[in-house]
Each structure stands twice: as C-alpha cells, then as structure tokens.
C-alpha cells in the first residue's frame, strides 16, 4: 500500500490535469487555495476574492496546458507556476478595484523563487467566458444544444446529427460552425467569414 499521494509526483499531476481528472483538480484546488489565501487576506482580500483567484488561475492554467503555452519542465514545480498565475491575477484584480493595501504585505509571496514570467503570456478568460455564457443562453435551442453536446458532453458529430435530426455528420459540422459564428457575433468578437 502506498502512503504517498500520487499527485505528489508533479509529472503525474501534470498528466492528470491534462486528462481532465476531477481528483487532480481537487488536489490542485486545495493546495492552491491554501497557498494563496494568506497572501490575499494579507493584501485586503476576502474569501470570495480567493475563490475567484483560484478559479480563474486554474482556468488559465488549463488553457496553457492544453495549448502548450506551458512546457513541462522536470525541475520546475507546477504549483510554483500556477501560484505565479494566481499572484498576477490577484494583482490585476486589485488594480481594477484600486484597493488601498499596505505595500509591505506583498513581501509574503514575492517573485524571488519564481522561475516564470507569466504575466505577459496570461489570458484573462473571465470576462469573455461570462459574455459567452450569457449569449449562449440567448441562442436558438438547436445551436445551444449543438454547442453543449460537442464542447461539454463530448459527443461525436455523428451522435449530434442523430440527436438534433440533421441529415449527416457534414451537415452537423456546418451547423456547428454557423452557430459558433453567431455566438461570436453576439459576444462582439471579430466575424468569421466563409
């Protein structure tokens, strides 16, 4: 019987996050929450801020993992990387609300041991995600279901065609493209042109 948690191994944690395993997200969540909460409290934040920072940091991390913005490094801790994302996210939030905080509180979690420079590479998905979620609700039933079935339920285009009564996989693919174009339009993103 092993007494060590498998996610102590950074490579296993990295691969499990890539594979979307709930257990890996829970492990990361707890660790990040505890690592960042003291810093956030010390700099004027509250539990809601901590929750927001943890959520948005993990969402950014997942983007960076999936699209190779983060390259695996044997010697570097994944936790150090996600903590640096969280710190930047919190700094950004503080700038936005212009909170008055004592500067010395920043010393608790400084950059000295952080090998990453992530701020410039980070994407902030919060606003866009909220806009997408809001506008998704405004779309027609078939479009909404198509996006839900493909991106959330991981159904194949063949299954989606059968479920939504489209004649073939190709028709379903074209409909999905059309729905996404419409969604982009509603969100206010640049148009996709045929």
124 in Cβ contact with 88 (< 8 Å): no
Write down the least CB distance from residue 96 to other proteins, Å.
19
Write down the least CB distance from residue 146 to other proteins, Å.
12
Q: Compare residues 21 and 80 and give the one whose CB is closer to other proteins.
A: 21
Q: Compare residues 9 and 115 and give the one whose CB is closer to other proteins.
A: 9
Contacts of 16 (CB under 8 A, 6+ apart): 6, 7, 23, 24
Q: Compare residues 92 and 169 and give the one whose CB is closer to other proteins.
A: 169
Buried b or exposed e, range 91-120, using 16+ CB within 10 angstroms: eebbeeeeeeeeeeeeeebeeeeeebebee
89 in Cβ contact with 56 (< 8 Å): yes
Cα separation, 4 vs 99, whole angstroms = 41
Write down the least CB distance from residue 53 to other proteins, Å.
12
Residues that bind other proteins (CB under 8 A): 1-4, 6, 9, 11-12, 15-16, 19-23, 25-26, 29-30, 33-34, 37-38, 40-42, 51, 54-55, 58-59, 62-63, 66-67, 105, 108, 123, 125, 128-129, 131-133, 136, 147, 151-159, 162, 169, 173-174, 177, 180, 183-184, 189-190, 192-194
Among 23, 3, 11, which residue's Cα sits nearest to residue 79?
11
Write down the least CB distance from residue 33 to other proteins, Å.
6
Q: Compare residues 3 and 98 and give the one whose CB is closer to other proteins.
A: 3
Cα separation, 78 vs 70, whole angstroms = 9
């Amino acid at each position: 019987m092993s007494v060590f948690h498998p996610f102590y191994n950074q490579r296993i944690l990295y691969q499990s996050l890539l594979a979307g395993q709930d257990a890996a997200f829970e492990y990361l969540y707890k660790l990040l929450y505890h690592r960042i909460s003291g810093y956030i409290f010390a700099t004027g934040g509250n539990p809601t801020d901590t929750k927001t920072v943890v959520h948005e940091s993990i969402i950014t991390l997942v983007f960076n993992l999936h699209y190779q913005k983060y390259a695996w490094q044997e010697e570097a801790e994944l936790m150090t990387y996600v903590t640096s994302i969280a710190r930047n996210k919190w700094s950004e939030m503080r700038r936005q609300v212009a909170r008055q905080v004592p500067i010395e509180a920043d010393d608790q979690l400084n950059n000295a041991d952080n090998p990453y420079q992530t701020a410039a590479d980070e994407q902030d998905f919060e606003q866009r995600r909220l806009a997408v979620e809001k506008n998704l609700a405004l779309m027609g039933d078939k479009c909404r279901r198509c996006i839900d079935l493909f991106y959330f339920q991981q159904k194949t285009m063949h299954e989606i065609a059968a479920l939504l009564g489209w004649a073939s996989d190709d028709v379903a693919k074209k409909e999905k493209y059309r729905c996404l174009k419409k969604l982009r339009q509603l969100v206010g993103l640049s148009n996709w042109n045929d």
